[in-house]
Chain A
Amino acid sequence: MSLFFKSPIDIEVRLDNEDSRQHVEVKNRKGRKEKLPLYEDGESVKGQVTIRLRNNNKLDHLGIKIQLIGTIETHSNSSSNNNASNSNNSNLTLNNNNDNFLYLLQELSAPATLNHPENYHFEFKNVEKQFESYRGLNVNLRYYLKCIVLRKNSSNIIREKELWVYNHQFPPDSPSSVKMDVGIEDCLHIEFEYSKSRYSLKDVIVGRIYFLLVRLKIKHMELSLIKRESIGTPPNQFSNSETLVRFEIMDGAPVRGEAIPIRLFLGGFDLTPTFRDVNKKFSVRTFLSLVLIDEDSRRYFKQSEIILYRE
């Protein structure tokens, strides 16, 4: 809306040490990359707002405040209940629902008239940032500073600045290996084993696949990482999946008794830690999918979830 009217002032929100602060590169909705300053849970958000007047006009305002908001934005598909993965379809009508789980406010200035540029310091101390920032297909979890200049007869002038938040977790105490038995009767029987079910994002998935029975003419085998984003709660849940990585781990057909090693470095991929029921709104989960492709290009797969966390 501000596009229609030229704003009489420039609002700049600057964070302390912003230049030296770590930034995270994130893709926005249009596919552009932007760099956002990174914060962690419990970290104070501190900075200053600078307001400059344009054309040397003075400005009367009814007060200036700054908010720190954590919100979950979902674009849910109202016309269809299916949780198909083709949610990128532009035909879908999206309902924007915002759900703020964090709202902090700080008054920067009482109503006054501004004759010259003014700086206002703000600080949200030790802010609990419960969730990690996330930009998904149909859901975003955002943290942003919102500076509002209240005006009398005209609309308020607002300036937002997005922050990025990482939530670090500690590694689980006892990584337990995952074993699974899969098969098609009389055709295939394999057993696979991953060293653990929880991985940090820089981790390596190490595992092994045992072929106990092979009657299929297998051409190759690959491992995929699939991210599934779900919104809402069953039965009104809405999910979609995205294959992030395809990784060939076997070429050719093994015989009974072969054991094929798995090793997949995760660090090089853009992965999201597992989010479960974030604010009862959405989940992001990652599945490891083992896919066998036979000579007739039929695919056989088995998925299993892995828990990713940020260390």
Chain B
Amino acid sequence: MTAFLALLTRDMRLAVRVGGGALIGALFYLIVVVMMPFAIGPDLNLLGRIGPAILWLGALLASLLALDRLFATDNDDGSLDLLMMSAMPLELAVVAKGIAHWLTTALPLIVITPVLGLMLNVDLPAMGWVALTLLAGTPALTFIGLIGAALSVALRRGGLLLAILVLPLTIPVLIFGVSAANAAIVGPAPFGPPFTILCALSLASLVLGPFAAAAVLRQGQE
């Protein structure tokens, strides 16, 4: 357990220090959301209606941004080999890295979501619902993304490959995230079913993602 916490704090420290990507994801999210009205037009009614969808897409893209560095930097400086040889199961190490990644990239993004929502004319209670769905859904994005991050390390290249492999797998998360947010804001469909499925997707990927990612990493080192 101490090894788990040590790895978690190490990754978080690396993320917030110079050269880390902690706030880059949130900044990217900000820029993507700001770009949307330029493409769609400054019609506040339209923006208010598709606001939750824009925020979800922005979060999806932002969570991809820092993913390819997740194992790549450890692989470059050799600490990935140490993680593999340590007494802690590799799956658990992958979970620790995933949680650290979520805390440093997804959480800041959720925190700034209400501010961005105001710019998109999504009112404050609705913003709370969007933030709640993001809170429930972004772990799934991170833990599905772990598989892609591991693949891009195992193949020695693949920053671009990662997006191609991971994005189709995140379609269910996007669907249930946006439909839960819309159900809460405009109705008439109930909020419960899509939200609980969203939570289920997060929990299932929390279990399956690390196993697949660890398997990929092991195959890559052979």
| A is bound by B | no
